[in-house]
Structure formats: structure tokens, C-alpha cells
Copies of this chain bind each other. A is one copy, B any other.
Amino acid sequence: MQPEKALPNKENNFSEWYSEILERAELTDIRYNVKGFIVYRPNLMRLINLIKDELERRLVEKGHRQVLFPVVIPKSYLEKEQQHITGFEAQVFELSVEEGEERLALRPTSETAFYPMYSLWIHSYKDLPLKLFQTVTVYRKETKATRPLIRGREFFWIEAHDAFENLDLALGQVFEDVEITKGALRKFGLAFIVVQREEWDKFPGAEKTFAFDSLMPDGRVLQIATTHYLGTKFSKPFEIIYLNKMGTREYVHQTSFGPGISRMAAAIISVHGDEFGLVLPFEVASIQVVIVPIPKGNNEKEVLEKTSEIGMKLNKINIRFQIDLSEDRPGSKFYKWELAGVPVRIEIGEKEIVEKTLTLFRRDTRKRWKIMEADLEKELSSLRELILDNLLRKATERLNNSIVKVNNKEELLNKSKQNKILVMNFCGRLECAQQLKDETRGYEIRGRRIDIEEETWGSCALCGEKSEKVVVVARAF
């Protein structure tokens, strides 16, 4: 592999940067020739698996158990909850069936696959809470332009479907889902805002929808997880009824939670990456350390010996590492592993042998320095934290610096031209939201933040009427 020119600048030209990094780092291949369907290549699958493992581990810790439901959902199930089918109808892929046969859809989400079984499995309060999840691909006939991992007709997610005795317990679950997501996103070095979506923007069939938005390099936000309080809106049509402790029949209260694995991968790639390629924290790096031996003539043997010694040491302290023994020049190797986002590179050459040192390179800061060989373990364990802290700090600063308060339409239009995330007072009316979208080329009300408290300080920035709440406004993918 030959060093190539740097990637485009991701802030100024995100689209081009994103397409190029996906291709150069061999993450996706978009040449499959079916609209909205892409190939996940090995470098991406390793990232996907680490994201998945982190989320699944947290779900299991909180008492969820894994299941697998069929990919096909009878249309008659999908149609049981009116808002749900209205929301998904146009997006549903259907199988071709014979005249008179039951119509079958590919799951766009699996509420209506799970809940007929819930009505068979749940009888009494002793069967509650029921907390199940599956890790699957889902299918939506997107009509907007698709973009790998961000908007596709097939994407990878986890969906958790939980049932409880009452509203309080169900709302408690929604906040547990928020904490699970926060915990995972911090491990990925991602900053986020958590909002409650507006009425017209809820998940079809939900009473309340909460969402995580991540800030992408071009100033747009990307929804990477949602969790919904469904109330009894599904338990009524699906007759999911339990006998409470008093012997009375009650409908369960439900929640569903959808952390988006493909989209989290997109956010990790986009938020941390730079013009040299991917930048990964240890937590989601399938190779955490690469060792590049630089043997020269008379010290080849010592360099290779030291390389395998260091390898054995890394193995003992459970570092996922690789030794690059290929015949490429060192420069090509550096280029390749930087592109792949490997957090730390260790170089071992003539000088390092003589001095009993190692040369370290940190991918996130691109700093190169020497350490004493004996300090390696201590150094890596501190780098693990420093790198994640640095990525998280940068992402958080960028998010915070991007958020500005606007007081009226003039300020709003002004700041929207700078691609900022806006915070404003809002009357709560759909008409104002529509007007906002039209006049700003696409800004949307994302909802009221639930991760920080913000009191109304003025009147609706759009119509000047009485403000109902403070909302976040942004362009979104």
C-alpha cells in the first residue's frame, strides 16, 4: 500500500470525507447495486461487534434476556395499532405471496412481532417485568437519499421490548434505557443531547419518545438511539393482560428501546475521524496497539526479538494487538494503521534497542515520543484513559460550542446560516415547526432536553406567542 493524499477536510466537506473514509478504510462497499443495501466489510464488522457487545452487556446487566423473533411480520399484526401502521405503512417491504395467502412484511421494527407472544407469556404480575431484546437487521423502504450506516434500507440495531405492571415502572425503564445509552456512548467517546421528541415526531404508537442526538462534523445531528414509553397503546389491541396482586385484570405498560448500532458506528467514524483516517478509542478498537519493527541490517535479530517480547507482554495484559511484519516500508505501515484508527503504535528500531526504549505514537493527538521499555504497561493503561478522555472532551466541547441560544427570528435565521444547534423558546405549535423548516432550509424542532433543565426565558422565537418550553433546533440526517 502506498501513502495517498490526505482525506478532504471533514468540517468543510463532510459528504466527500465520509464517502472516502468508508472506502479507504475498507469499512463499507456501496457497489452492491440494490438501493439502500450495502456490504459491511471486516474492518466495519469488528467495530460493529464491539459496539454491539458493549450495549448487549449493559442490557443483560439490567436484567434483559436475548431472543430472536422472525424477520417476517404478518400485515395483520402490523395493522393492530393504528398509529403504528400509519407511521410505517409506506416504508414496509412486503414478501410476494400467492393470492389469498397472508401478507407478510419484513420487520421495520418488531413491536408487532413480539407482542402477540407477550399476550401468551404474560398472565400474572409474577411474569413481570418481562425484559427481552434482539440484535438484528431491520428493513425500511427509505425514499430519501440513502447514505451508508446513516440512512439505509437495511440497518443493524438492538431492540428491547419491556413490559411492566404500571406507568411508574415503565417510565423507570425509559430512564434506565437513557442511562444504558449514556454509559455506552461515553465508552465510545461520543457527546450527545437527550431530548423528548415533540408530539408529531414521536415513534408511531408511542406515548412519549426520547432520543439521543449526536453532532456530526457538518453541523447536522444524527439520532443514534431512541426509547419509548408505549403506555397501553399496544397492550390493548394485543390483549397483553396480567392479574395484579389483588386479582384484577390489568393491561401491561410497555417500553421499547432502539439503540442504533449502524448509526453509532457512523457517529464514531465521523466524530473522531480526521484527514488521516479513523480515530478509535481502545474501547472500540479491534486492534488497540500495532507494533511496527524497523529492523536494519546488523540489528535485525535484536529488533525482531524485542518485538516478540513486547508482543508477549501485551498478550499478558490483555491488549488486542498486531505485529506488522509485512514488507512495506515503515511509512506505508504508519499510513495504513493510522487510516485504520489504531489508538497506539509502538515502533521498535535500532535506537530503541540501544536505549531500552520504545517509540510510541498516539493516533488521536498524532504525538510521537519515547518511553522506557519498563514503563510500557503503566503507559498503556494511562493512554487508554487519556485517549478516551481526550476524544470525549473534544466531542463535548464541539457540541457545547455549537449550541447557541436565539431570542427571535432574526437571530434564528442568522445562526442557522452558521449551522449551529439552536436553543429557543417555543410555543409548541406544529405550524411554527413547519415555518421553521421552510425558512431555514431544514431546521427541525428536536425536542426539549431532558439531560439539562432549561426554563423558558422569553416568547416563541418564531411567532412571538407565549412559550411553552425551551427546545433544541437543528438540521438532522
A40: B residues at CB distance < 8 A: 67-69
A33: B residues at CB distance < 8 A: 74, 116
Cα distance, A97 to B35, chains bound together (Å): 13
**With A34-B104, A95-B96: A45-B74 Cβ-Cβ less than 8 Å:** no
Give the residue name and chain of the B residue nearest to A65 (CB): B42
Cα distance, A395 to B444, chains bound together (Å): 63
A70: B residues at CB distance < 8 A: 32, 34, 37-39, 154
Is the CB of A352 closer than 8 A to any CB of chain B? no
Give the residue name and chain of the B residue nearest to A35 (CB): B102
Is the CB of A94 closer than 8 A to any CB of chain B? yes
B93:A39 contact, CB within 8 angstroms: no
Is the CB of A20 closer than 8 A to any CB of chain B? no
Tell me the chain A residues, 245-283 only, with Cβ under 8 Å from chain B.
none
- Smallest beta-carbon distance A57→chain B, Å: 13
B29:A42 contact, CB within 8 angstroms: no
Is the CB of A120 closer than 8 A to any CB of chain B? yes
A102: B residues at CB distance < 8 A: 34
A66:B42 contact, CB within 8 angstroms: yes
B117:A29 contact, CB within 8 angstroms: yes
- Smallest beta-carbon distance A29→chain B, Å: 6
Is the CB of A71 closer than 8 A to any CB of chain B? yes
B68:A29 contact, CB within 8 angstroms: no
B72:A37 contact, CB within 8 angstroms: yes
**With A46-B66, A70-B154, A72-B34: A39-B117 Cβ-Cβ less than 8 Å:** yes
B39:A68 contact, CB within 8 angstroms: yes
B69:A45 contact, CB within 8 angstroms: no
Cα distance, A113 to B31, chains bound together (Å): 11
- Say what secondary structure dominates the interface of chain A: strand
Is the CB of A335 closer than 8 A to any CB of chain B? no
**With A34-B74, A34-B102, A74-B34: A41-B29 Cβ-Cβ less than 8 Å:** no
> How many residues belonging to A are interface residues under a CB distance threshold of 8 Å?
41
Is the CB of A334 closer than 8 A to any CB of chain B? no
Is the CB of A315 closer than 8 A to any CB of chain B? no
Q: Which of B42, B65, B95, B120 contacts A93 (CB 8 A)?
A: B95
- Smallest beta-carbon distance A40→chain B, Å: 4
Interface 0/1 of A45-74, CB less than 8 Å to B: 110110000000000000001111111101
A132:B42 contact, CB within 8 angstroms: yes
- Smallest beta-carbon distance A154→chain B, Å: 6
- Smallest beta-carbon distance A427→chain B, Å: 42
Give the residue name and chain of the B residue nearest to A132 (CB): B42
Cα distance, A102 to B94, chains bound together (Å): 14
Is the CB of A14 closer than 8 A to any CB of chain B? no
A68: B residues at CB distance < 8 A: 39-40, 45, 48, 137, 156
- Smallest beta-carbon distance A203→chain B, Å: 23
Interface 0/1 of A96-121, CB less than 8 Å to B: 11000010101000000100110010
- Smallest beta-carbon distance A156→chain B, Å: 7
A117:B154 contact, CB within 8 angstroms: no
A66:B49 contact, CB within 8 angstroms: yes
Cα distance, A118 to B38, chains bound together (Å): 14
A34: B residues at CB distance < 8 A: 70, 72, 74, 102, 104
A93: B residues at CB distance < 8 A: 95-96
- Smallest beta-carbon distance A27→chain B, Å: 11
Which of A70, A74, A120, A139 has most B Cβ within 10 Å? Answer: A70
**With A74-B34, A120-B29: A67-B96 Cβ-Cβ less than 8 Å:** no
A113: B residues at CB distance < 8 A: 32
Which of A39, A41, A94 has most B Cβ within 10 Å? Answer: A39
- Smallest beta-carbon distance A306→chain B, Å: 26
- Smallest beta-carbon distance A386→chain B, Å: 30
Cα distance, A399 to B37, chains bound together (Å): 45
A-B residue pairs in contact (CB < 8 Å), sample of 6:
A34-B72, A40-B69, A45-B65, A49-B66, A71-B154, A72-B154
Question: Besides the contacts A48-B68, A71-B106, what 10 more A-B pairs have beta carbons closer than 8 Å?
Answer: A31-B120, A32-B69, A32-B70, A32-B113, A33-B74, A34-B104, A39-B117, A42-B65, A45-B66, A94-B95
Task: In the A-B complex, list the 5 residue pairs whose CB atoms are closest, starting with the nearest.
Answer: A42-B65, A37-B70, A40-B68, A96-B96, A94-B96
